[in-house]
Structure formats: C-alpha cells, structure tokens
Chain A
C-alpha cells in the first residue's frame, strides 16, 4: 500500500524560507516520478512541480507561480522527497501535498505565510 507522510509546514514571514519533506513507503520510490500539489484555503488543487526518477535523469519541472523560488529534490537512500521554498509570498499559503501518479497523496502539511 502506497504511504506518503508530509511534514515541515508552519508559519513563516513573507520573504522567508521553509523546507517540506515527504517520506514514502509501500512502493518502489526510486522508480517513481514524484509531484507536489498545493491547496489554498477554500480553493482547488494546484500542481506546483515534479521530479523524475534518477534513472530517467532526475530532472524537475515547475508551475509558473513557483518557478525560480521553489526547488524539488529527492533522496532515494531515504525514500524521501523535498520541497525547498524560498522568497515565500502570502499567496503561497496552502496545504502542501506530495503525490505520485495516478494520484496517491500524502496527508498534507500546512504552510502559512504571514507577518
């Protein structure tokens, strides 16, 4: 059974940084393309980025609102996915989920950007 556990959320001031983690189990993490999806309060789901498996190059792709500010990485030795978020804005306030196709989700971690 696919199991994803998100962590690292919290309150941060505008312009600050935060790193989220996602621990994976129940599937072959090294073969998986992993994504991050967020959900602002009362809103729908927004894909923000993905990382390919290392065997497929480990390259990343990002949605326009976060490109240049957010970085996705992975540590296959720890079965863990990361999201480094820099230059945070108030509009980045959301629950952040890690996910893998076709749609297995972590439980989410809340990031609040506020002064």
Chain B
C-alpha cells in the first residue's frame, strides 16, 4: 500500500524568503504525485501534479516541485513567499494500479508567514 510522509508539521518563514516543504512517498511503481493547498475551513486546491516526463514541474502561484525517484521525494518549493501563501499544504500519491485509485494524503504542513 502507498503512503506519504510530510515530516514538518509546522513551518514559519519570513515574507520574501524561500520555501521548501518536504514530502516522501512509498509506492511500488512510478507514482502520480500531487501537492494541494488548503485555506482554513475550505476545500483543497491543486497546486501541481507529476505524472511522468520532466521531473521538475511548475504549478500555480509560483510553486514548483521536483520528483526524485532515488530519494522517493517530491518536495515543494517557492523562491519568494508571500503573506497570502499562509495555509496548510498536503502532498498526495495516486495509486494507478489498484482498483481503488483514491489519493493517499500526508498529514499536512502548516505554513505561517511572518511579515
């Protein structure tokens, strides 16, 4: 069964600083990988996704993520954080080969942005 680990429960960065959120996955084949963002009391919005091909993927709001098969990682990055980026971020892995095809989510990383 697939699993996702987000080692950082809470991260605080200063506005304008760079950001990296970590995500490690466990899956027996090439996974489908996703990053979602959630504002308080809201649903989840897709930031970016990786299916195949170029291992560096670009998303919305200036985010990018890099798939590293050797490290089983899919870390999310942003060069300069804005106050509006404060939210909770979830990494997810999709299991294409199982009948369930439901995403498995990490426990999330809450991002706080200091002025």
Tell me whether A and B are bound partners.
no
Residues of B at the A interface (CB closer than 8 Å) are none
